[in-house]
Amino acid sequence: MNIVNTKTNYTYEILEKDIYNLKNKYDFLKVFILGKSVLGRNLYCIKIGKGPNKVFYNAAHHALEWITTPVLMKFIESFCYAYSNNKTIKKYNIKDIYNQSSIYIVPMVNPDGIDLVINGLKKDNPYYEDLIKWNKGNNDFSKNWSSNIRGVDLNHNYDASWHLSKKYESKYNIHGPGPTRYSGEYPESEPETKALANFCRKHNFELVLAYHSQGEVIYWNYMNLADERSKKIANILSKCSNYYLDQAQGISSVGGFKDWFIEKYRKPGYTIEVGKGKNPLPISQFDKIYSDNEELLILASLVTTKNYPL
């Protein structure tokens, strides 16, 4: 096992290496590219399972929250290892899940932003001068940059009360591209959000998870559109992770991926906020975060199957 590197700041280069090493070891793994980031990096998607129940997990909409990427990558590795060695995870039969469900995972939605946060601003970046301006003259992006490379907060760029997000911007003193909260010029203006939304439009997903940090909280509703079934599932996910349930307020409550999914499809969508502290969370929190979330990731692929009693 132990292909996925969980002891270091998790860059796009590490992600690519880990994906291809996993693919070489587990030939049943499906790897494809949803689209490209602003700077042309691949938006990788990994599929495990072959069942009719389709679910979609993603991580790292926000650059500072890169720790969520190895969480999903480690889950892929653990699942593949258990499947190929006929093992269980937390007493769940992985072969049964593989046959019942298809789990689609985009582990890094914002590779350009993550590169900026972890590796710093390079002189050859086409947005070099803009980025320094957007960052108020500061060329250190390691502690405050959540946006993509064009200064758009990807989790405010979906068409879910997007106009309200724009209204909130002035209230939060946001007047254009910057480290966080800027919603873009129009919904899905960024290639990263457009790729994810298009992917959902092409698949009939029963449930989505969007991984963020921090707070150890699960956001499960949007504009009171989530139904009783969605709340039951939220309670199941809360119980197995010990994360509490909440509803976002203010600018955080609009324009997000799970908001868009709930509004468009009226199906269960959840934002999972892992860990505790100030972003970016240190990699030293990884083991606890993964332990808290492994069963949640398994259950999210089961709760919408026909056989699961809700």
Per-run averaged pLDDT (10 residues), the chain, 310 residues: 93 98 98 98 98 98 98 98 97 97 99 98 98 97 98 97 91 95 97 98 98 98 96 98 92 90 98 98 98 98 91
Closest CA to 29 of 104, 86, 107, 100: 104
Give the number of other Cβ atoms within 10 Å of residue 143's Cβ.
12
Task: Map out the domains of the chain with their CATH numbers.
Answer: 1-310 (3.40.630.10)
pLDDT digits (tens, 9 = 90+) for 264-295: 999 999 999 999 999 999 999 999 999 999 99
Identify whether 273 is a catalytic site residue. yes
pLDDT of 306 reads: 87
Q: What is the pLDDT of residue 307?
A: 84
In angstroms and rounded to an integer, the radius of gyration of the C-alpha atoms of the chain is 18
pLDDT for 309 equals 83
For CA atoms 253, 258, 264, 268, give the dihedral sign: negative
| pLDDT score for 299 | 98
**What pLDDT, on the 0 to 100 scale, is given for residue 242?**
98
Output the pLDDT for position 19: 98
> CA torsion, points 132, 136, 141, 144, in degrees to nearest 10?
-150
The rounded distance, in Å, linking the Cα atoms of 267 and 270 is 10
pLDDT at 1: 67
Token look-up 């069963």 returns 295
Q: What is the pTM of this model?
A: 0.98
Any idea what the Cα angle at residue 200 is, between residues 254 and 244, rounded to 5°? 50
What's at 92, amino acid-wise? Y
Nearest-angstrom CA–CA distance, 121 and 140: 8
- Residue 78, helix vs strand vs coil: helix
Q: What angle do CA 97, 61, 241 make, to 5 degrees?
A: 45
In the set 206, 273, 294, 295, the catalytic residue is: 273
